[in-house]
Amino acid sequence: MQKQPLPRTRTTFTLALILLSACATAVAGSSTHPWIKAEGARFVNDLGEQVTLKGCNVGNWLLLEMWMLAIDHGQFRDQYDFEENLSRRFGRPERERLMDLYRENWIKPRDFAIIKSFGFNTVRLPFNYRLLQDDERPFALRKDAFEWLDRGIEMAEAEGLYVILDMHGVPGGQSVDHPTGRVEQNKLWENPVYADRTAWLWRQIADRYRDRASVAGYDVINEPYADFNTDIRPQLKAVFGKIYDAIREVDERHIVFAPAPLWGGHAFYGSPEENGWTQVAFTEHHYPGLFGDSPTKQSHGRFVYRELPEKHAFIERVRVPMFIGEWNPVFESLGGGDLMRRYFDIYESYGWAAAMWSYKILHREGGVVRDNWYMVSNAKTLHQLDFKTAPIEEIEDYFRWFGSMEYVIDEPMRTALVRENPIYVDLPMPAPPMAEPPHRDALEVWQAADVGEAIEGGQRRDGDDALTIYGGGHDIWTDNDAFRFVCREIEGDFVMTTRIDHLGATSVYAKAGIMARASLDNNSAHVLIHAFPDGQLARGLRHEQGAMMSQADVPNDQLPVYVRLSRRGHTFVGEFSLDGMNWRPAGTPVEVPAIGKTCLLGLAVLSHNAGALTEARFTSITIESW
């Protein structure tokens, strides 16, 4: 196989060279680590000196993600599917042996030496609960339960690295996504036995490592995102409290990381001190420019100049340390390794810990891959196997090859992270937040209200069928809305249509759209068809007053966009169109009897910033009723 030519700014390493480097570093490395503690909003050591925990995730080792192995999700959806295939073909004992062979070779001592060479002092170690516990015996440990966690900690210690243990997949699953190890479970929030199992398992882990200073802390639930629509904050606080109590039965010293849900931050936990929690830190994941946001310098500018300072102010106020457990700017056109260095430096200036995703990923083509997620990858073209047909001997050889494969290392990233004088990546400063509306035009057929705790907004009349609305408010979400609502009372069935021409990007979660609402109470029943600043659409729904809101995402990536909301009886139907003629569903029809025959119908706008307004421009506004 022919190796792709590499730019001079990157380097491939032979196995021999890396092994020599790893051995030399291992001899120099110390297994003695000062204890890490949470003190106020900072991480400190035993002497009270501030410590910056900076590193990467050692992903795809103790929990597999198929894309990181260059395996399409259509072939195997997750680790569970992958292992079940091995069991069907070779039997469970052979599956267990093959998976151990994989783990033995995916990460070796050489890998921790390379991690340290990036200027890192910490690794986050994601693992699957099934590494420690079989579902057939839910409150018992496997005989080999701690073999691989022990090995990971020992290899990290040899290089002087700290380890943060991350239960990436918990019993029952904490979301429907594949990083849990098995898709479409999400049972942690539905059945208390899974919370009990997770707490019990963390007690066993804490009991084993309670005297291990090289373990900086316990990241107890990775990405508790449920179905990506449901607000699970009340359940999350209760589950975290149960896990915390189980850990503290055997371990008073280690930091326990409280995770953020997909929306809403950490404020719902309240004060750890008031909860009786000690040595607790917060953790969340940052992927600006990805997963619903646009990969532009503008999106990073908003994140760096608006969202991060807001998070920092919150952390300083509650005096709880922060760990960014995953993040990666990815795109080289936006700055690549230099932008990554800027984020690391910002986090360090705040006193936060941070671990990028991820250390090693395979690519089919091998060699240098732009816009990558890796620190190291395969240097040569990947000889992939079909795991559904390959003989067991070929699978064994493939797994052994992982331990000696030639690497391509992201040298520009490494250089950017370790150079004394970083190259500054300039990001555009977003416009100053709008505190006062530039217009408060009088309305004729409409009424305007700032619902909940939204600051006073305004509007400009741009014609008989056009309005520009200036709205504030933290969100339309959970059971506590805050937004600007320009509406009218309407009786019976209706169809309302408008084109959303523009929405200011005060936040990626700013919203503008059509809403039908039972009342102006901040927890009223409602149906909402809305856009985000990048054009993504969603249908929001609160079935009855005081209930938690749910959301259904609607794929779209551009503004302007037409949206339409209609009612027949108790049934509400949302639609969208790019041209105003060809309409597509925006979520499924929903029955909402709590919105009475007479309701409020109009345009909802919010900034997702409690102290600022955003601007939303609507044209082609029509309402038909009968």
What pLDDT, on a 0 to 100 scale, did the predictor assign at position 11?
38
CATH number for the domain that contains residue 32: 3.20.20.80
Q: Answer whether residue 264 shows pLDDT above 90.
A: no
Query: Within a 13 Å sphere around the CA of 354, how many CA atoms are in the beta-carbon half?
Result: 19
| Local confidence band at 8 (pLDDT 50, 70, 90 cut-offs) | very low
| Local confidence band at 29 (pLDDT 50, 70, 90 cut-offs) | very low
CA–CA dist 556, 559 (Å, integer): 9
Q: What is the mean pLDDT of residues 277-287?
A: 97
What pLDDT, on a 0 to 100 scale, did the predictor assign at position 505?
84
Same domain for 473 and 412: no
What pLDDT, on a 0 to 100 scale, did the predictor assign at position 15?
36
Which range of residues forms the domain containing residue 225? 11-418
| Share above pLDDT 70 across residues of the chain, in percent, rounded to a whole number | 95
Mean confidence (pLDDT) of the chain: 93
Same domain for 505 and 462: yes
Q: What is the mean pLDDT of residues 139-163?
A: 98
Residue 299 sits at φ, ψ, to 5 deg, of -65, -40
Same domain for 461 and 402: no
CA–CA dist 351, 323 (Å, integer): 9
Q: Answer whether residue 17 shows pLDDT above 60.
A: no
CATH number for the domain that contains residue 568: 2.60.120.200
Same domain for 215 and 102: yes
Q: Answer whether residue 583 shows pLDDT above 80.
A: yes
What pLDDT, on a 0 to 100 scale, did the predictor assign at position 46?
92
Q: Answer whether residue 419 shows pLDDT above 90.
A: yes
Is residue 2 included in any domain, yes or no?
Answer: no
DSSP letter string, 240-275: HHHHHHHHHTT-SSSEEEEEP-SSSTTGGG--HHHH
Q: Which of 54-63, 234-243, 287-296, 593-602 shows the lowest per-residue confidence on average (mean pLDDT)?
A: 287-296
SS3 labels along 61-108: CECCCHHHHCCCCCCCCCHHHHHHHHHHHHCHHHHHHHHHHHHHHHCC
pLDDT tens across 166-225, in order?
A: 999 999 999 999 999 999 999 999 999 999 999 999 999 999 999 999 999 999 999 999
Q: What is the mean pLDDT of residues 252-256?
A: 98
Q: Answer whether residue 12 shows pLDDT above 60.
A: no
Same domain for 126 and 38: yes
pLDDT tens across 440-466, in order?
A: 999 989 999 999 999 999 999 999 999
| Local confidence band at 291 (pLDDT 50, 70, 90 cut-offs) | confident
And the tokens for 181? 């190890």
What pLDDT, on a 0 to 100 scale, did the predictor assign at position 602?
98
Same domain for 408 and 514: no
